[in-house]
Amino acid sequence: MAVQYKEFRVSNDAMDDPEELQRRIQDEGYLFFRKLQDPDKLLDLRREMLTAIQEGGWLVPGTDPMDGIADISRQCTEGNAEYTDVYHEVYKLESFHRSGHWPEVIDMMEKVIGDSVLPHPQKIARLWFPKYTEHTTPIHQDFVHFQGNFQTYTCWAPVGDCPIELGGLALIPGSHKVGKVLDHHFSLGAGAQKIYADEVEGEWHTTDYEIGDSLIFLALTIHQALPNFTEDRLRVSLDNRYHALGDPIAEHMLEPHLNSSSELLWEDVYKDWESDDLKYYWEDLEHPIVPRDLSFGEKVFAEALDLAREGDSHAILHLNRIIRRDPTSDAAKQAMEALEDAKAVDSGAAAG
């Protein structure tokens, strides 16, 4: 049975009422705004991001990068080395990092949080190919990925119009009231962690996003990306995080995104920037730094090993990615052993 999506509640009516914004997000777990961000600035950013992506070979040659017409033969996602190579070129753009500090975004986050805010240094872009639906970001809570504290907020915005068929975000209002991190399991999608669909309750909400629209939600709010069902369009979005200045932040959120897949230092990111004001800005701000909790990732990796031994195709693909990324790592060695066990199981089944 197809999921029936309801429309988000639009909160533009409360944009100048911090108390009402705070009440709504604590009650519903999200806020959705039409045209919170300047469409013209986002269009400029889109051209820069998609030009870098086209130079990386992901778009059909000769097409206008603004159209985002993907070369389907170049499909890849987080975890693939070829994804990280292009992603990091986008990541080096000064305009991309500056977008997380645009006044309209910071002003709204301060109203929602009720305090001065720390924009996380680890800005994130999401770049999703069409016809690659197995890799869609699954149902999850953000806390397993960025950690730090539960009162951390994600601000998600498409860099261009994003109708439902292009694969925007959907969430379950009020789902943050579970008050804890739910069990997450192995998934092929981005982040490699999912909550089973039959373990969540509530109605899914989404919308046909237009450029400038923004979705803000809490670390425990249950959400997912929708599949990109378009024929040839790349989905591009911003995925930035904020919390009250002085609250804890996990140590890995002070590093560039996907730097473990392919080493990327802040010096590399900043190399061609024209301005210095955002370089290492967090070092002058007070915020407790807490260690990353590795148990979330370790749990799903152990599940992937077990599933691969049983012949699960998604787990096998995931382990092969880990091996290709760094064959000398401990994780790669465990992955190789699991894949050898899977071969032995296949051989035994054939012999039987």
Q: Which one is predicted more confidently, 329 or 41?
A: 41
From the list 331, 299, 309, the residue with the least C-alpha distance to 79 is 331
Residue 312 belongs to some domain of the structure: yes
Q: Taking residues 110-120, what's their average pLDDT?
A: 97
Residue 1 belongs to some domain of the structure: no
**DSSP for 78-139, written as a single string:** TT-HHHHHHHHHHHT-HHHHHHTT-HHHHHHHHHHHTS-EEE-S---EEEE-TT-GGGS--S
From the list 123, 352, 84, 131, the residue with the least C-alpha distance to 228 is 131
CA atoms within 13 A on the CB side of 60: 12
Domain end among 270, 291, 312: 291
In angstroms, the CA 235 to CA 323 distance is 28
Sheet holding 205-206, edge to edge: 6-7, 205-206, 169-171, 223-225
In angstroms, the CA 204 to CA 227 distance is 14
Contact 264, 256 (CB under 8 A): yes
Question: Given this model, what pLDDT does residue 17 score?
Answer: 98
Total count of domains within the chain = 2
Is residue 280 located within the same domain as residue 241?
yes
User: Which amino acid is it at 226?
Assistant: L
Q: Which domain holds residue 186?
A: 6-291
Is residue 287 located within the same domain as residue 298?
no
Which range, of 128-132, 284-288, 330-334, averages the lowest pLDDT? 284-288
User: Which amino acid is it at 199?
Assistant: E
Give pLDDT tens digits for 9-26: 999 999 999 999 999 999
Give pLDDT tens digits for 137-149: 999 999 999 999 9
Question: Given this model, what pLDDT does residue 190 score?
Answer: 82
In angstroms, the CA 110 to CA 118 distance is 10
Q: What angle do CA 315, 301, 84 make, to 5 degrees?
A: 75
Is residue 66 located within the same domain as residue 154?
yes
Is residue 113 located within the same domain as residue 197?
yes
Mean residue pLDDT of the chain comes to: 94
Q: Give the tokens for residue 71.
A: 């070369």
User: Which amino acid is it at 103?
Assistant: P
CATH of the domain at 23: 2.60.120.620
Phi, psi of 74 (to 5 degrees): -100, 15
| End-to-end CA, the chain | 38
Q: Taking residues 184-207, what's their average pLDDT?
A: 94
Residue 32 has pLDDT above 90, yes or no: yes
From the list 318, 82, 307, 291, the residue with the least C-alpha distance to 190 is 318
Give pLDDT tens digits for 150-167: 999 999 999 999 999 999
Residue 123 belongs to some domain of the structure: yes
C-alpha dihedral (324, 326, 329, 333), degrees to nearest 10: 20
C-alpha dihedral (265, 271, 276, 278), degrees to nearest 10: -40
Domain end among 250, 268, 291: 291
Question: Given this model, what pLDDT does residue 351 score?
Answer: 39
Is residue 301 located within the same domain as residue 237?
no
How far lies 233's CA from each of 23, 47, 229, 259, 349, in Å? 37, 15, 9, 26, 42
User: Which amino acid is it at 289?
Assistant: I
CA atoms within 13 A on the CB side of 346: 11
Q: What percent of the chain has pLDDT over 70?
A: 96
Question: For residue 143, what are the contacts with CB-CB under 8 A and spacing of at least 6?
Answer: 150, 152, 181, 219, 220
Question: Given this model, what pLDDT does residue 261 score?
Answer: 65
Is residue 255 located within the same domain as residue 329?
no
Domain end among 253, 273, 291: 291
Is residue 240 located within the same domain as residue 256?
yes
Confidence bin at 344 (pLDDT 50/70/90): low
In angstroms, the CA 344 to CA 112 distance is 55
Is residue 187 located within the same domain as residue 223?
yes
CA atoms within 13 A on the CB side of 234: 31
Task: Give the pTM.
Answer: 0.94
Question: Given this model, what pLDDT does residue 54 score?
Answer: 98
Q: Give the tokens for residue 188.
A: 């092929």
Contact 29, 35 (CB under 8 A): no
From the list 4, 13, 11, the residue with the least C-alpha distance to 27 is 11
